[in-house]
């Protein structure tokens, strides 16, 4: 017998048949089971061995000790990941028909026969803000991100493994404080006087409509190059990275500057992302010098 191993992933299977005096095949003996078969091979009688005869048909099946139970393991709305070599597909379950069949909310763009199906249990989520060859920048993160975790794009089906996680360039292992001020990294130049706390700052730009503005909280001056940090509040507009030194950030009162803006980091709480946990209606009071108010803040972490 001849085994056609094309596309099966395996090799090495061999078998012979026996026939009776009338030429009818009565049995098949497997001499070698082969290895690494993913799909059954096609089997035919070897015509070069002078076997003669015709019309013999064979059916080959692969034993599988893992029973598929989609009806027990999947629910409508679950995220699943299908992989077939380098191809990946992520979608949500639309219907579960039986133990062997389910449908998804999206159609695949490539064939996924003989693929692996995995149920995705998300412990963390976020929205992608930017991607480079080795870095994914996210915002609105919920949960934790640890080395070795697998991240999955719900729309792109792209996957990656976390090798390190930082929060605005700070390692999460030492992250013990949150900062809502915007940080601007560049080279500080002294003007008529040092930056003045609370002074207004602006960035030179050719598009005034989107000019970056804010108010200085404080500055950290470091001994190296391009490593001074300007902390600002009430950021508005767009601060552009400035490798050529053409869009200088200026203090409007001090005339000090921050040049060659190389990095910028927003506040670490996403604006308007929180939920109201508590509110209380109080009787209004007249605001004058002899009155006092109590302000109550409730946070959840």
Q: What pLDDT was estimated at residue 242?
A: 94
Quote the CA–CA distance of 219 and 212 in Å, as a whole number. Answer: 17
Pairing assessment for the beta strands 200-203 and 213-220 based on DSSP bridges: antiparallel
Is 58 inside any structural domain?
Answer: no
Is the Cα torsion angle 90, 96, 98, 101 positive or negative in sign? negative
Res 170 pLDDT > 90: no
What residues contact 23, with CB distance under 8 A and at least 6 apart? Answer: 52, 53
- Whether 144 and 83 share a structural domain: no
Helix (H) / strand (E) containing 73: helix 70-73
Is 55 inside any structural domain?
Answer: no
Q: What pLDDT was estimated at residue 96?
A: 93
Residue whose C-alpha is closest to residue 137's, from 97, 98, 167, 159: 167
Q: Which of 121-125, 126-130, 255-259, 273-277 has the lowest mean pLDDT?
A: 273-277
- Whether 283 and 218 share a structural domain: yes
Res 240 pLDDT > 90: yes
Q: How many domains does the chain have?
A: 4
Is 248 inside any structural domain?
Answer: yes
- Please give the mean pLDDT across all residues of the chain: 85
- Whether 169 and 188 share a structural domain: no
Helix (H) / strand (E) containing 72: helix 70-73
Give tens-digit pLDDT for 208-232.
888 999 999 999 999 988 899 999 9
- Whether 255 and 234 share a structural domain: yes
Output helix, strand, coil percentages for the chain, rounded to the nearest 5: 5, 40, 55
Is 280 inside any structural domain?
Answer: yes
Rg of the chain in Å (alpha carbons): 33
Give tens-digit pLDDT for 248-267.
999 999 999 999 999 999 88
Is 151 inside any structural domain?
Answer: yes
Is 235 inside any structural domain?
Answer: yes
- Whether 300 and 235 share a structural domain: yes
pLDDT: which is higher, 158 or 232 = 232
Q: What pLDDT was estimated at residue 106?
A: 86
Domain that holds residue 195: 178-301
Res 301 pLDDT > 80: no
Q: What pLDDT was estimated at residue 175?
A: 63
- Whether 258 and 277 share a structural domain: yes
Q: What pLDDT was estimated at residue 233?
A: 94
Give tens-digit pLDDT for 26-45.
888 888 888 888 778 888 88
Q: What pLDDT was estimated at residue 25?
A: 84
Is 57 inside any structural domain?
Answer: no
- Whether 93 and 14 share a structural domain: no
Is 60 inside any structural domain?
Answer: no
Q: What pLDDT was estimated at residue 49?
A: 57
**3-state SS, one letter per residue, for 139-193:** EEEECCCCCCCEEECCCCCCEEECCCCEECCEEHHHCCCCCCCEEEEEEEECCCC
């Amino acid at each position: 017998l001849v085994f056609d191993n094309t596309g099966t992933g395996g090799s090495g299977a061999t078998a012979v048949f026996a026939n009776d005096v009338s030429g009818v095949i009565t049995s098949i003996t497997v001499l070698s089971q082969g290895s690494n078969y993913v799909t059954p091979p096609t089997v035919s009688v070897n015509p070069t061995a002078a076997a003669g005869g015709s019309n013999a048909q064979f059916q080959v099946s692969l034993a599988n000790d893992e029973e598929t139970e989609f009806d027990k393991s999947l629910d409508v709305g679950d995220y699943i990941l299908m992989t077939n070599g380098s191809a990946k597909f992520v979608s949500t379950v639309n219907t579960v028909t039986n133990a062997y069949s389910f449908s998804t909310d999206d159609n695949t763009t490539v064939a996924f026969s003989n693929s692996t199906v995995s149920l995705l249990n998300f412990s963390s989520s976020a929205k992608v803000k930017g991607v480079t060859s080795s870095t994914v920048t996210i915002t609105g993160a919920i949960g934790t991100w640890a080395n070795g975790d697998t991240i999955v794009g719900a729309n792109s089906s792209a996957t990656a493994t976390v090798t390190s996680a930082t929060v605005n360039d700070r390692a999460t292992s030492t992250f013990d404080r949150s900062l809502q001020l915007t940080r601007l990294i560049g080279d500080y130049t002294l003007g008529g006087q040092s930056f003045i706390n609370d002074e207004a700052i602006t960035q030179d730009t050719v598009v005034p409509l989107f000019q970056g503005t804010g108010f200085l909280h404080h500055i950290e001056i470091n001994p190296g190059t391009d490593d001074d940090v300007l902390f600002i509040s009430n950021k508005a507009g767009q601060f552009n990275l400035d490798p050529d030194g053409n869009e200088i950030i200026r203090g409007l009162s001090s005339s000090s500057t921050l040049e060659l803006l190389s990095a910028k980091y927003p506040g670490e709480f996403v604006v308007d992302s929180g939920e109201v946990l508590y509110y209380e209606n109080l009787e209004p009071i007249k605001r004058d010098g002899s009155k006092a108010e109590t302000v109550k803040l409730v946070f959840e972490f």
